[in-house]
């Protein structure tokens, strides 16, 4: 255990707080620096796959999740024009048995508060906007907009899609626009009486789709309305929108979702951008985490889940290495070697369902992945006679993600390495 190591995390979002909570749990001195004036998470609902919920339970959040999250019993796919059910994917207890942990839906604010509660007072510092940092032989010096500075053994950039730490590591990048935006918000479940707040729903239309899933113990639904949108919107998931925008997007749709326009709370627009996977994201003293490392489109619902996995993996790697410069460099290298191949695969797969036309150049690997994904999706969508099979196939396509246990994988790899060392010594 590295009792003399101090880790600085930039950004107090889901990923940053997950990393800090996992580091603190392992006895590592950690401080989180957040640019905002208060500690709060904007946004609406989110999916927590078994790959993330198993980690959150191990962090001690099982009871809190049970109080506010929902374990959806099933996903229903319904026709956009009349609301008739065309396919059902059972979830609930069946998925919990299959993956060893529940699939949950939860309000981002609820999860954010839970993660913050795992850190003692004085570990999260608000009004700390990072403006620059310098790596040295003895650590990293961080400088903030208010003129203050601090030093740490290592710097973790969990500062989102507009990450300063990422820009320092890889330079300026042009984000790649998907051709779509998403109108998002919450609605009281009571205002959608035709929908069961114990289930998730997807309505697939000719030019868009609507996803609704329960949050806040089933008292509300989060809605996501994905529609084509010309490029030009700012890269933000909290852009301004209105009920009129929602009504226009849902014109001609079944009243089951058309009612959203009159009942929705605040409406926000999320312009769907991503970036190509990075070839590296670490130095000897600095690394990236979450959206700063691998911003991804939301079609797998894995953005926050991958950030949680990142945070736990990073804490394990740092906790198992010796202190000092060489130990930290080895820990960050192991973390990247573990996470980057996995998140690259998730990131590329998350592009399913968006237009094939891209606004920037892509690698051959990305193009081949897109061709395979789009071919599979078109075949599935055009075969209405096999709708349930198609939904099951889509679930199977992400089963490898949901089954992942990053903590067990690292522990197994470490055990195998120790066994190999013993065999070599013999």
The Cα–Cα gap between 33 and 132 comes to 13
Q: Which of 12, 117, 14 is nearest to 67 (CA)?
A: 117
**What are the b/e assignments for 375-403, b being 16+ CB within 10 Å?**
eebeebeeeeeebeebbeebbebbeebbe
The Cα–Cα gap between 147 and 385 comes to 64
The one catalytic residue in 103, 213, 223, 273 is 213
Identify any residues that bridge with 155 across adjacent strands, giving them in sequence order: 8, 286
Q: What angle do CA 315, 140, 321 make, to 5 degrees?
A: 30
pLDDT at 383 exceeding the cut of 80? no
Q: What angle do CA 91, 92, 97 make, to 5 degrees?
A: 95
Compute the average pLDDT of residues 307-334: 94
Is there a contact between 187 and 181 (Cβ–Cβ < 8 Å)?
no
Q: What angle do CA 228, 233, 234 make, to 5 degrees?
A: 140
pLDDT tens-digit profile of 215-256? 999 999 999 999 998 887 777 767 889 999 999 999 999 999
pLDDT tens-digit profile of 190-210? 999 999 999 999 998 888 899
User: Token match 């036309």: residue?
Assistant: 357
Residue 341: its pLDDT value, please? 96
Reply yes or no on whether 213 is catalytic. yes
Is there a contact between 101 and 57 (Cβ–Cβ < 8 Å)?
yes
pLDDT tens-digit profile of 4-54? 799 999 999 999 999 999 999 999 999 999 999 998 766 789 999 999 999
Is there a contact between 272 and 297 (Cβ–Cβ < 8 Å)?
yes
Alpha helices in 140-242 (DSSP H): 164-170
How many CB atoms are closer than 10 A to CB 3?
Answer: 8
Residue 266: its pLDDT value, please? 87
Retrieve residue 404's tokens.
């992942």
Residue 244 neighbours by CB under 8 Å, 6+ apart = 261
Is there a contact between 74 and 195 (Cβ–Cβ < 8 Å)?
no
Retrieve residue 114's tokens.
């839970």
């Amino acid at each position: 255990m590295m009792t003399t190591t101090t880790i600085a995390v930039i950004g107090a979002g889901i990923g940053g707080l997950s990393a800090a909570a996992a580091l603190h749990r392992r006895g590592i001195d950690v401080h989180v620096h957040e640019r905002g004036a208060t500690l709060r998470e904007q946004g609406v609902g989110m999916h927590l796959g078994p790959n993330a919920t198993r980690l959150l339970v191990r962090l001690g959040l099982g009871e809190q999740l049970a109080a506010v999250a929902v374990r959806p019993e099933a996903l229903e796919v319904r026709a956009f024009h009349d609301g008739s059910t065309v396919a059902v994917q059972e979830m609930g207890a069946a998925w919990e048995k299959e993956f060893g942990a529940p699939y949950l839906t939860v309000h981002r604010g609820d999860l954010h508060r839970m993660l913050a509660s795992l850190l003692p007072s004085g570990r999260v510092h608000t009004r700390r906007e990072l403006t620059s940092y310098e790596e040295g032989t003895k650590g990293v010096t961080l400088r903030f907009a208010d003129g203050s500075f601090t030093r740490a053994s290592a710097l973790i950039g969990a500062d989102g899609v507009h990450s300063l730490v990422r820009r320092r590591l890889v330079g300026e990048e042009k984000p790649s626009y998907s051709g779509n935006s998403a109108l998002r918000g919450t609605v009281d479940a009571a205002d959608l009486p035709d929908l069961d707040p114990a289930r998730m729903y997807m309505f697939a239309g000719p030019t868009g789709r609507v996803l609704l899933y329960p949050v806040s113990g089933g008292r509300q639904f989060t809605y996501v309305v994905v529609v084509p949108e010309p490029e030009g919107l700012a890269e933000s998931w909290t852009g301004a929108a209105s009920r009129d925008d929602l009504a226009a997007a849902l014109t001609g749709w079944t009243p089951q979702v058309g009612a959203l326009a009159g009942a929705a709370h605040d409406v926000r627009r999320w312009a769907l951008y991503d970036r190509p996977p990075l070839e590296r994201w670490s130095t000897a003293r600095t690394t990236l985490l979450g959206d700063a490392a691998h911003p991804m489109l939301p079609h797998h619902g894995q953005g926050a889940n991958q950030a949680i996995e990142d945070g736990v993996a990073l804490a394990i790697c740092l906790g198992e290495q010796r202190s000092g410069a060489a130990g930290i460099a080895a820990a960050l290298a192991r973390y990247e070697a573990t996470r980057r191949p996995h998140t690259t695969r998730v990131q590329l797969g998350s592009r399913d369902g968006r237009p094939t036309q891209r606004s920037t150049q892509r690698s051959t690997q990305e193009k081949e992945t897109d061709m395979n994904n789009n071919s599979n999706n078109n075949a599935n969508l055009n075969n209405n006679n096999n709708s349930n099979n198609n939904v099951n196939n889509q679930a199977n396509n992400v089963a490898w993600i949901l089954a992942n246990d990053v903590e067990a994988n690292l522990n197994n790899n470490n055990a195998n390495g120790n066994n190999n060392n013993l065999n070599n010594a013999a």
